[in-house]
Amino acid sequence: MEEIYVRHVELLGFEKRFFPSQHYVYMLMVKWNDLSEKLIYRGYPEIYTFHKSLKEMFPIEAGDIDKKDRIIPALPAPKWLDNQKSTETRQSTLAEYCGSLINLPPKISRSQLVRSLFKVRPEDENPPAQHPLKRNETFVVSNDKTRDNTSEISGPIILESYRVIADYSHTSKYEITLQIGDLVEIVEKSPNGWWFCQCDIKRGWVPASYLEPLDGPEESEEADPNYAGELYITTKAYKAAEDDELTLEMGETIEVIHKLLDGWWVVRKGEETGHFPSMFLYRTGEKKEMESEEHVMRRQTPPPRRSTIRNAQSIHSKGRQRISQDTYRRNSRRFLQQKGGRPNQPRKTSKASTQSPLQEWNNRDNIPKTTGSSPGGELKGAPIIPPRPSPELIMERCTENTRKKVSRLWSSHASSET
């Protein structure tokens, strides 16, 4: 049986607790080599006690015999009295320590002592009772800040609260079951559309599509479309289940033009656009980033989309605004034409997508034929008659209702010829 060891540790922030007395614990997201991940809570005194035990177990690597042999990172001793300021400013040091610790040789990083420190405990999954009059305060580190500079550590940020719009039943031990109307606090927003939440004493992953902000239906963090596109490669094949999705094979290079928080990004393949699960994508030339987020691949299926949720009930009178694929394609073509990209090219589909009936049809009556020029050549100054639009372009610019009628008409025409 393969040995279980810690693959990555990420410092998320800290909690200020008041029971049985005021103290602080750090929130650590621990990712193991079996692709599982757990949120644990550790106080700084315990981590420092572990550090001293580690140095005793590996005196050579600790530099006790010869200082030049030291590879175990240093860790400052705790203060006699911890306060919120010292707990906050120590975050960068602790984040560096955990990162260096996991990158030590396997005999250290995979030792029983290290595994015991990061192993999930019952009190991690079911935290102790809170103070009867004071609620625990949670503070998180901004991911946009450089963690090796304490001056750039963000100030305390209270976790965002979201409301559950429909009942959700967990499908794995890493998720939690929620009821409509529940309020959850967001600990981590993963770009794959799975968010790590806490609801009372429960903690686990939840699809972002089941959650809505309290102050309005729109996500303030959601970026605008970027029609210049970012190159990504598909890591897994996906067959479209909805009309506005895109079917792609593994290993295809596409352009991401809109990163949505629910994990279903809008991608462009040629001039075709559609939603595609971000958990099956990684940026070209950035394998390191892919490795740091390998945990997103442990799930076999992407999170459900908002459009597939039944009996969803929002507290907002206006629903969330969504951009249609027709708008994405129209704006994409306009951008490419302005940049001198691929103007007026026929829409291209992926290998696994089903071609339009008009694309499969023999276009002999619609494609202009090039004939030999007349003896006198082309008439200079004569107006240029544009060629008749190709069937692909006609299908692309017509309405969805017209497209369906033409498809049915041609299907019946093809069957009558056979």
DSSP string, 366-388: TSPPP-PPPTT-SPTTPPPPPPP
Residue 352 predicted with pLDDT over 80: no
Question: Where in the chain are the domains?
Answer: 6-140, 160-213
Closest CA relative to residue 27, chosen from 17, 38, 42: 42
Q: Which amino acid is at 219?
A: E
Please indicate whether residue 302 or residue 410 has the higher confidence score (pLDDT). 302
Evaluate if pTM is beyond 0.75: no
CA distance 43 to 26: 6
Tell me the per-residue pLDDT of 228-286, one tens digit each, with 9 for 90 and over: 899 999 999 999 999 999 999 999 999 999 999 899 999 999 889 999 999 999 888 75
Give the burial class of 372: count Cβ atoms within 10 A of its Cβ; 0-12 exposed, 13-18 middle, 19 or more buried: exposed
Place of tokens 């001198």: 340
The average pLDDT across 283-300 equals: 51
CA distance 323 to 335: 16
CB neighbours of residue 243 within 10 Å: 9
- Please identify, in words, the CATH class of the domain defined by 6-140: alpha beta
Tell me the per-residue pLDDT of 7-49, one tens digit each, with 9 for 90 and over: 999 999 998 888 778 889 999 999 999 888 899 999 999 999 9
For residue 405, the model assigns a pLDDT of 65
- Find the angle CA(79)-CA(80)-CA(86) to the nearest 5 degrees: 40
CA distance 192 to 299: 10
Q: Do 284 and 276 touch, CB atoms closer than 8 A?
A: no
- 95: which residues sit within 8 A by CB, 6+ positions away? 10, 11, 141, 147
- Please identify, in words, the CATH class of the domain defined by 160-213: mainly beta
**Main-chain phi, psi angles of 204, to 5 degrees:** 170, -175
CA distance 45 to 27: 14
CA distance 296 to 83: 36
CA distance 25 to 248: 45
- 140: which residues sit within 8 A by CB, 6+ positions away? 12, 13, 27, 157, 159, 187
Residue 263 three-state SS: coil
Q: Do 261 and 212 touch, CB atoms closer than 8 A?
A: no
